[in-house]
Chain A
Amino acid sequence: MSLHLLGTSLVAPMASGEGEGFHAPTPEEFYWPIFGSGDWTFTRPMAVFGLSVILISWALIALTKKAAIVPGKGQWLVEQAYDFVRNGLARDIIGSKEFLRFVPLLFSLFVVILVNNLFGIIPPIQYPTMSRIAFPIALTLVVYVVYHIAGMRKKGVGHYLTGMIPKGLPKPIYVLMIPLEYAQFFLIRPLTLALRLFGNMFAGHMLLLLFVMGGEYMLLHGGIGLKITSIGSFAMALIFTAFEALIQFLQAYIFTLLAATYISDAISEEH
């Protein structure tokens, strides 16, 4: 609701200044109520997220139900994704002693974020769920609770807290390093983890919206010169859609990578 108002207040001065001209996309474009009102509105990202969960569950169950030693195409795909997270991320970063119990979490995070990101460019859906800040915050909270609890259970609270500070530095520097390291572990890491995913998805979707809406405006409302240049705008939209696909994969990877790193940091013995 408040974001909705923020969006209108942002667009109001621009609209009055330009009169009947082109309206650039605003954060308002991301607010899509379906039914309900106020704090209990059911919105499009909720529907998309629900759809992603149903789709992922169905795909994972259906494709691995008849697991064969020589895998079919679907099973091969699932195995590749699982292998990528299990061996490429979890085992390499956390280490083979303790990584197995974190693999389900990391694999779920990776698949949920990847599918929701890719929804940003898949035609009938075209909405990256993670461009609404609440979704990255929720995922980050899960990671935050897991790595702190894993660290405290492994080392005990006191040892866990002292283990965060790097050892062997000159004494006076600890006056500055101790507040920095605690801020880093308890505030900045979750903050950047959520904001990085949110910002990338938000900005990418905004960019695509701008190219498509700009192209449409030039094509429908412009003179002959603008109609021709609108081709460029649509071409840019296509190019950036491909570019977005890359970023969407990369961000799912980075989120999972950092989650694994934080867990590894929390449970590793020395620094």
Chain B
Amino acid sequence: MSGSDEEPLTPLQRKDSGHPGNQNPPMWDALSYVLAGPLTFGIPAYLLDRWLGTSWIVLPGVLIGMAVSLYAVWVRYGRG
């Protein structure tokens, strides 16, 4: 490793330079997107229901959340 002042690159490092990172998250992460929507919009909707004493807001909240989740999955994974 030593022997020079400015630490030359090893052959492996030289070969490495320019290897780009993977921009798309792997499929395993799609699960967290699918959960994110219903939770992000469902929980505030449920709390709104509790606050106003109604019971109809939570359903559209969860449904909108699901729709946004699917859209986000498409944005991340489906556009290529």
Name A's B-contacting residues (CB within 8 A).
91-97, 99, 166, 169, 173, 176-177, 179-181, 183-184, 187-189, 191-193, 196, 254, 257-258, 261, 264-265, 268, 270-271
Is A184 within 8 A of B23, CB to CB?
no
Give Cα distance in the complex from A177 to B20, angstroms.
27
Identify which of residues 44-80 in chain B touch chain A, using a CB-to-CB cut-off of 8 Å. Answer: 64-65, 68-69, 71-72, 75-76
Residue in chain A with minimal CB distance to B40: A183
Question: Top 5 closest A-B pairs, CB basis?
Answer: A95-B21, A96-B19, A96-B16, A183-B40, A192-B32
**Option from A93, A96, A261, A264 in Cβ contact (under 8 Å) with B17:** A96
Main secondary structure of the interface of B (DSSP, over half): helix
Whether A184 and B33, one on each chain, are in contact in the complex, defined by CB atoms closer than 8 angstroms, is yes
Contacts of B37 in A (CB 8 A): 180
Give CA–CA (A95, B18) in the complex, Å.
8
Q: Please name the residue on chain A nearest to B16 by beta carbon.
A: A96
CB distance from A221 to the nearest CB of B (A): 42
| Apart from the given pairs A180-B41, A184-B36, A187-B36, 17 other A-B contacts in the complex at a CB distance below 8 Å | A94-B21, A95-B19, A99-B21, A166-B76, A173-B71, A176-B64, A176-B68, A177-B72, A177-B75, A188-B36, A188-B39, A191-B32, A192-B35, A193-B32, A258-B26, A258-B28, A258-B29
Q: Produce 1/0 per residue, B1-37, CB < 8 A to A.
A: 0000000000000001111111101101101110111
Q: In the complex, A264 Cα to B29 Cα: how many Å? A: 13
Q: How far is the CB of A140 from chain B (nearest CB, A)?
A: 12
Do A95 and B25 form a contact, CB below 8 Å, given A181-B72, A184-B33? no
15 A-B pairs with CB atoms under 8 Å apart are: A92-B19, A92-B21, A96-B18, A96-B19, A97-B21, A176-B68, A177-B72, A180-B36, A181-B72, A188-B36, A191-B32, A191-B35, A254-B28, A265-B25, A270-B23
Assess the B68–A180 pair: CB atoms within 8 A: yes
Across the two chains, which residue of chain B brings its CB closest to A190? B32
CB pair A268 B19 closer than 8 Å: no
Contact across chains for A92 and B17 when beta carbons are under 8 A apart: no
Question: Is A264 a contact of B21 with CB atoms below 8 Å?
Answer: yes
Which residue of chain A lies nearest to B21 when distances are taken between CB atoms in the complex? A95
Whether B68 pairs with A97 at a CB distance below 8 angstroms is no
Nearest A residue to B23 via CB reads A268
> Which residues of chain B come closer than 8 Å to A166, judged between CB atoms?
75-76
- B33 — which chain A residues lie within 8 A by C-beta? 184, 188
Chain B residues within 8 Å of A192, by CB: 31-32, 35
Of A93, A94, A173, A183, the contact of B36 (CB 8 Å cutoff)? A183
How far, in Å, is B17 (CB) from chain A's closest CB?
Answer: 6
Q: How far is the CA of A176 from the CA of B16 in the complex (A)?
A: 40
Residues of A within 8 A of B26 (CB): 257-258, 261
B residues in contact with A177, CB < 8 Å: 68, 71-72, 75
